[in-house]
Structure 1
Amino acid sequence: MKHWTIREVEDSPCPFPGLLPGVLEMRVKEGSKIRNLMGFAMARMQCEAGSSGQASLRQVVFTGSGRAVTKTITCAEIMKRKMGGLHQLTKVRYKSVREVWESQEGGDGEMTVHRTVPSISILLSKDPLDPLEPGYQPPETQTALWEEREGNDGLHQAGKRPFDHIAIQSETQPKRFCP
């Protein structure tokens, strides 16, 4: 029985030309823990200039491909909600990956597979970005978030709480089934 190991060879230049020097590049992998990624990125973006000898960063890029795309988006959304006021630029593309499978038993057992996988890069910046660039999203204000959640149906009136308009069916009521 042959045992195989894999090594990936990939080439992925940064899709954002002209980034500030010292931008934080977070490479999100399928097995990455969101807590670890966010702890590191938030600490670097929130540190004050001069404290702990590091300057506060102005930009961070989260990049992930394949099964890590959703985790990459989650990291960017968490940072936007926690920090607020961040401009966003998103680039989606496909990237070619060459996988070389080698036999651990030696010999001539080698197989190469070429795959194309989706990839996403999300730039978050404290400084304004070009609003005409495809993939740009302006910062959301906290009031805009609440207005969006409340809608225009008068929930913001005094004495009304969000979700008061939702009727909850009791377990004691009979359930209807359509034939």
Structure 2
Amino acid sequence: MAQKVCSSTSLNPAIQSLPPTLGLNNFRRVRRTEDSGPYPIPGLATDFLHMRVREGSKIRNLLRFATARMRGEGKDSHGRSTRQIVFTGSERGVTKTITCVEILKRKVEGLHQVSKLYYKTVDEVWEASKHGVPDVTIQRTVPAICILLSKDPLNPHEPGYQPPHSVSGPTEDTGMCGATRSRVYSILVRWDR
């Protein structure tokens, strides 16, 4: 029987609520499930491509696949190229999600964007290394981001909408600070190789 602990912040307070004889070192995570509720973006097509970005995801691999599909090089099961792609990420994967989207927008011109921030529920089951100690289920609420990129025009009045922009050189001011601009440019250069 698993003990259920709810936490809206981090794992440590939930584990610390256990008896002092049990510590974080005596548990290992055995399962993690995320709620699969509807996307927070209205009007999604039924045949969009979903790219789930995690903390350990490789940007190069994600972008190679997404770019091929958006350029029409990769087809879906019906032989069509992808018109819309949704990137989602949560917790530490949010930054990597945004990086993937910004690079893809520079690789494929004319993409409309809608970004939504939201919270999702994550259930983690932690197994005790000592026999007789119940498993612990921790339910957390974590920040997440969902970004839609579309070749087709989107509602410009939708909160989070960004119109397409043309591909520009690394020296042109695109509204990013210098450090972010140079980081994105260096990632683009490495990815092109």
TM-score of Structure 1 vs Structure 2, range by shorter chain: 0.7 to 0.9
User: Judging changes above 3 Å, is the alpha-carbon distance between structure 1 residues 65 and 150 closer, same or farther for their aligned structure 2 residues?
Assistant: closer
Q: Is the 2:28–2:129 Cα contact (8 Å) retained in structure 1?
A: yes
Tell me which of 173, 178, 188 is aligned to 1:149: 173
More contact order relative to length (CA 8 Å, sep ≥ 6): 2
The residue that corresponds to 2:96 in the other structure is: 71
Tell me which of 24, 45, 69 is aligned to 1:44: 69
Counterpart CA distance in 1 for 2:174 and 2:102 is 20
The residue that corresponds to 2:143 in the other structure is: 118
1:43 partner letter:
A
**How many pairs were matched up?**
150
The residue that corresponds to 1:136 in the other structure is: 161
The residue that corresponds to 1:58 in the other structure is: 83
User: Judging changes above 3 Å, is the alpha-carbon distance between structure 1 residues 3 and 113 closer, same or farther for their aligned structure 2 residues?
Assistant: closer
2:83 partner letter:
R
Counterpart CA distance in 2 for 1:61 and 1:67 is 18
1:24 partner letter:
L
The TM-score normalised by the length of structure 2 is 0.68
User: Judging changes above 3 Å, is the alpha-carbon distance between structure 1 residues 36 and 48 closer, same or farther for their aligned structure 2 residues?
Assistant: closer
The residue that corresponds to 1:24 in the other structure is: 49
Cα RMSD over matched residues? 2.9
**Helix, strand or coil for the counterpart of 2:92?**
helix
The residue that corresponds to 2:35 in the other structure is: 11
Off by >6 Å, runs of 4+ in structure 1: 49-53
- Find the structure with the greater CA-based Rg: 1
Counterpart CA distance in 2 for 1:97 and 1:150 is 36
Counterpart CA distance in 1 for 2:121 and 2:53 is 17
1:140 partner letter:
H
**Helix, strand or coil for the counterpart of 1:81?**
helix
Q: Is the 2:55–2:96 Cα contact (8 Å) retained in structure 1?
A: yes
Q: Which moved more, 1:6-15 or 1:100-109?
A: 100-109
1:94 maps onto 2:119 in alignment? yes
The residue that corresponds to 1:156 in the other structure is: none
Counterpart CA distance in 2 for 1:97 and 1:16 is 20
The TM-score normalised by the length of structure 1 is 0.73
1:8 partner letter:
R
Percent of aligned positions that are identical: 57
Counterpart CA distance in 1 for 2:82 and 2:174 is 34
User: Judging changes above 3 Å, is the alpha-carbon distance between structure 1 residues 75 and 100 closer, same or farther for their aligned structure 2 residues?
Assistant: same
User: Counterparts in 2 of 1:157-176, with a 5 A limit?
Assistant: none
**Helix, strand or coil for the counterpart of 1:70?**
helix
1:37 partner letter:
L
User: Judging changes above 3 Å, is the alpha-carbon distance between structure 1 residues 150 and 138 closer, same or farther for their aligned structure 2 residues?
Assistant: closer
Q: Is the 1:95–1:116 Cα contact (8 Å) retained in structure 2?
A: yes
Counterpart CA distance in 1 for 2:174 and 2:118 is 35
1:56 partner letter:
S
Q: Is the 2:75–2:82 Cα contact (8 Å) retained in structure 1?
A: no
